[in-house]
C-alpha cells in the first residue's frame, strides 16, 4: 500500500512539474536505426492504414534528428514531447533504445497486392463472402510498385500466411504451400522470392465461411550464401544416390531371377500342354486299341471253340494273319511308350527348373515399416509402387507353387508307371505273336493241329485276362486325361502370371535404371543448383535503406508487417449505456494504481 502511495505522488509530480530528459542544447547521437512498417489492408489487398515504429540506438544523450513525412507522431518510450518540423523529427533522448511511432497517410507499399475470391466459379466481393458456402478459390497476386524505391522489391522476401478454421473450411488444395496444423486450424505459408512476382492460389470447400486476416511480412534476404554449409546436405544426397544404385542392383538381380522363373514356367507349361495332348491322344486311341483287342479276344475264343474236337475239318489259312495283327498292335503301343518317355524327360527338366527358381524367391520378410521408410527416402513413388507390386506378385507365385507342388511332383511317377504298363502290354503281344508264328511253322499233320488246338486254347484263356487288363488301363488313361485338364489350366494361369510378373519387373528395372542413371551425379547437380541459387539470390552486399526518408542514414534494418481485415459474420451487441459518475482528475489518477 505504501509503494502505491509513493508511486502516486511521483506520478503527480511528473504531471505537475514536467521536465525533459536529456540535454536539449547538446548534440545527441544514434549509431543505428531500425524501422518496422505496419500496414492494415482491406480483404482485397488495398492499403487502409500505415505507420512505422522507429527504433533508435542512442549512444549519446541529447537531441536526435530523424526524418519522415509523418501525419502524426507518438512517443513510445517516455513522456518526452517530440517536435516535428515538416519532415524533420526532433527528439530529446537519453542513452539506450528510443522508440517512436509515425503515421503515414499517403505512403504506398513497395508491392502492389491484389486478393480476389471466386465462389463456385463466380467472382465475389469479400464483404459478401461471410457466411457463404461452396467451392472457394482464393488468389493473391503481388507485383512491383513502380512508384516506390525498387530496392525493397528486388531484395526482400515476402512470406504470406493464412490461418484456416477446419470447422468451416475443408478439402484444402494448396500444392505450393507449406501446411502446418495448429490445433483445429490449418496454417498455409507461401514464400515469394526477391525480384519475383507472386501468384498464390488455394481451393477449399467452405461452409458458413469466415477467415482470419492474412498475414504478410517482408524481410531482406541478406544472408551470405557463400557461407552456406552444404557438406552435410551433399553427403546425404550421396547416401541417397548410393542407396538408389543398390536398389537398382537388387532390381536387376530380381529381374534376372524372375526372367529365369518365367522361362522355367513357360517351359513347364509347354511340356504340360504336350503331356495333356499326348494323354488325350492316347485316350482317343484307346478305343481303337480296345476294339482291336476285343476282336482278337473274340476271334481266339471262336477259334478255340471251332478247334475243339474238329481239327480235321478246319481251314486254318487265316491263322497266318494273327501274328502280324498282334505285332502291329505292339508297334503302336511302342510309339505311345516312346512319346510318354520323352514327355516325362521334358517334364522332369522343366519341373526341376521351376522348383529351383521358386526356391530363389526370398521369403516374405519386407514389413510395412520397411515400405514406409522406402517411400520417405525420397525415391520415385511410381518406382516404389512397382517394386511393391512385384514383391506381392512374386510371393503370390511362390505361395501358389507350394500349394500345387505335390500335384506337379506326382505327374512324373504317373508318367513312368503308364510308360511301364504300355511297354509290358507291348512285350506280351510280341511274345504271343512270336509263339504263334513258331507254332504255325512247326505244325505237321494232325499232331501239329492237336498241338495248335492246345496252344490256341491256352492263348484264348490268357488273352481274356490280358484284354480285361487292357480295358482297365485305357479307362485309367481316360480318367487321367480328364483330370489333367484342371492341372493344365493351373499351369496356364501360373504361366500367364509369371509372364506378367516378368514384364512388370522389366519395366521396373527400366525405371530404376533410369532413376539410378539420373541420380548418379545427384550431389554434383545439387551443388550446381546451390551455386546457381547463390548467384541469383545472394543479397549479402545489400545495404538497407530507409522506407520513410532517404535522408535517414545508418539504417540497420527495415521490416514490413502487414495484415488484411478478417472476413467474419457481424455480431449484434446489446449496448447498455451507463451514466458515468463525475470523478476528479486526482481520483482517476489514483485508480490507475489501485
Delimit the domains of the chain by residue range.
Answer: 2-107+554-558+567-591, 111-228, 259-357+384-504
Going 365 to 368 to 371 to 377, the CA torsion angle's sign is negative
DSSP state letters, 532-593: HHHHHH--TT-----SS-TT--SEEEEEEEEEEPPB-----------PPPP--HHHHHHHTT
Query: Would you state the cell numbers that stand for residue 336, as one nine-digit string?
Result: 505311345
Instruction: Quote the CA–CA distance of 118 and 120 in Å, as a whole number.
Output: 6
Instruction: Quote the CA–CA distance of 521 and 202 in Å, as a whole number.
Output: 36
The structural architecture, per CATH, of the domain 111-228 is Sandwich (2.60)
- CA–CA distance from 163 to each of 72, 135, 204, 408, 570 (Å)? 32, 18, 13, 65, 19
Contact 22, 78 (CB under 8 A): no
Q: Is the pTM of this model over 0.75?
A: no
Instruction: Quote the CA–CA distance of 169 and 185 in Å, as a whole number.
Output: 9
Q: What is the pLDDT along the chain (594 residues), one digit of tens a residue?
A: 444 443 433 334 433 333 333 333 335 677 889 999 999 999 999 999 999 999 999 998 989 999 999 999 999 999 989 999 999 999 998 899 999 999 999 899 999 999 999 999 999 999 999 999 999 999 999 999 999 999 999 999 999 999 999 999 999 999 889 999 988 899 999 999 999 999 999 999 999 999 999 999 999 876 434 445 666 667 777 777 777 877 777 778 777 877 777 777 777 777 667 766 766 766 666 676 677 667 677 776 766 666 665 545 555 555 666 677 777 777 777 777 777 777 777 767 777 776 776 777 767 666 777 677 667 666 667 767 767 777 777 777 777 777 767 766 776 777 677 777 777 777 877 787 777 777 666 655 445 556 666 666 666 666 666 677 777 767 766 776 676 676 777 767 777 877 777 787 788 878 788 777 877 777 777 777 766 666 666 666 788 999 999 999 889 999 999 999 999 988 765 555 555 566 565 565 555 555
Amino acid at each position: 500500500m505504501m509503494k502505491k502511495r509513493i508511486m502516486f505522488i511521483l506520478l503527480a509530480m511528473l504531471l505537475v512539474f514536467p521536465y525533459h530528459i536529456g540535454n536539449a542544447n547538446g548534440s545527441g547521437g544514434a549509431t543505428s536505426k531500425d524501422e518496422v512498417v505496419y500496414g492494415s489492408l482491406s480483404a482485397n489487398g488495398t492499403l487502409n492504414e500505415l505507420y512505422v515504429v522507429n527504433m533508435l540506438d542512442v549512444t549519446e544523450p541529447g537531441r536526435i534528428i530523424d526524418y519522415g513525412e509523418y501525419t502524426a507522431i507518438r512517443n513510445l518510450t517516455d513522456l518526452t514531447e517530440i517536435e516535428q518540423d515538416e519532415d524533420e523529427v526532433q527528439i530529446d533522448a537519453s542513452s539506450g533504445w528510443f522508440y517512436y511511432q509515425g503515421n503515414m497517410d499517403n505512403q504506398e507499399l513497395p508491392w502492389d497486392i491484389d486478393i480476389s475470391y471466386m465462389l463456385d466459379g463466380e467472382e465475389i466481393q469479400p464483404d459478401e463472402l461471410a457466411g457463404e458456402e461452396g467451392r472457394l478459390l482464393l488468389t493473391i497476386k503481388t507485383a512491383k510498385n513502380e512508384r516506390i524505391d525498387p530496392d525493397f522489391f528486388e531484395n526482400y522476401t515476402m512470406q504470406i500466411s493464412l490461418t484456416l478454421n477446419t470447422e468451416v473450411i475443408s478439402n484444402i488444395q494448396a500444392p505450393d504451400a507449406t501446411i502446418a496444423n495448429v490445433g483445429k486450424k490449418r496454417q498455409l505459408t507461401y514464400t515469394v522470392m526477391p525480384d519475383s512476382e507472386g501468384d498464390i492460389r488455394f481451393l477449399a470447400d467452405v461452409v458458413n465461411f469466415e477467415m482470419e486476416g492474412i498475414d504478410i511480412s517482408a524481410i531482406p534476404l541478406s544472408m551470405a550464401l557463400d557461407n552456406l554449409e552444404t557438406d552435410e546436405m551433399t553427403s546425404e544426397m550421396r547416401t541417397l544416390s548410393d542407396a538408389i544404385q543398390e536398389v537398382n542392383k537388387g532390381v536387376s538381380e530380381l529381374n534376372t531371377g524372375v526372367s529365369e522363373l518365367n522361362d522355367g514356367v513357360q517351359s513347364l507349361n509347354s511340356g504340360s500342354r504336350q503331356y495333356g495332348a499326348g494323354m488325350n491322344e492316347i485316350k482317343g486311341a484307346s478305343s481303337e486299341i480296345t476294339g482291336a483287342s476285343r476282336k482278337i479276344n473274340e476271334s481266339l475264343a471262336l477259334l478255340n471253340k471251332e478247334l475243339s474236337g474238329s481239327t480235321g475239318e478246319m481251314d486254318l489259312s487265316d491263322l497266318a494273319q494273327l501274328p502280324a495283327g498282334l505285332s502291329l498292335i505292339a508297334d503302336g503301343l511302342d510309339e505311345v511308350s516312346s512319346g510318354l518317355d520323352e514327355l516325362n524327360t521334358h517334364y522332369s527338366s522343366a519341373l526341376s527348373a521351376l522348383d529351383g527358381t521358386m526356391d530363389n524367391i526370398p521369403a516374405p520378410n519386407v514389413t510395412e515399416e520397411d515400405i514406409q521408410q522406402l517411400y520417405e527416402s525420397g525415391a520415385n513413388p511410381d518406382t516404389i509402387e512397382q517394386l511393391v507390386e512385384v514383391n506381392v506378385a512374386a510371393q503370390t507365385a511362390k505361395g501358389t507353387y507350394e500349394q500345387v507342388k505335390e500335384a506337379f511332383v506326382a505327374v512324373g511317377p504317373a508318367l513312368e508307371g503308364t510308360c511301364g504298363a504300355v511297354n509290358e502290354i507291348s512285350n506280351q503281344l510280341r511274345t504271343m505273336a512270336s509263339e504263334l508264328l513258331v507254332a504255325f511253322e512247326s505244325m505237321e499233320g494232325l499232331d501239329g493241329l492237336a498241338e495248335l488246338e492246345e496252344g490256341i486254347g491256352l492263348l484264348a484263356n490268357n488273352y481274356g485276362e490280358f484284354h480285361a487288363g487292357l480295358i482297365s488301363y485305357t479307362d485309367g488313361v481316360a480318367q487321367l486325361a480328364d483330370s489333367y485338364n484342371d492341372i493344365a489350366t493351373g499351369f496356364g494361369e501360373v504361366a500367364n502370371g509369371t509372364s506378367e510378373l516378368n514384364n512388370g519387373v522389366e519395366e521396373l528395372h527400366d525405371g530404376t535404371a533410369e532413376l539410378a542413371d539420373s541420380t548418379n551425379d545427384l550431389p554434383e547437380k545439387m551443388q550446381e543448383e546451390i551455386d546457381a541459387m547463390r548467384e541469383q539470390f545472394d543479397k549479402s552486399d545489400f545495404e538497407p535503406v530507409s522506407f520513410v526518408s532517404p535522408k535517414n542514414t545508418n539504417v540497420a534494418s527495415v521490416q514490413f508487417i502487414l495484415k488484411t481485415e478478417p472476413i467474419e459474420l457481424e455480431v449484434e451487441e446489446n449496448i447498455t449505456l451507463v451514466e458515468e459518475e463525475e470523478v476528479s482528475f486526482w481520483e482517476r489518477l489514483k485508480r490507475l494504481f489501485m
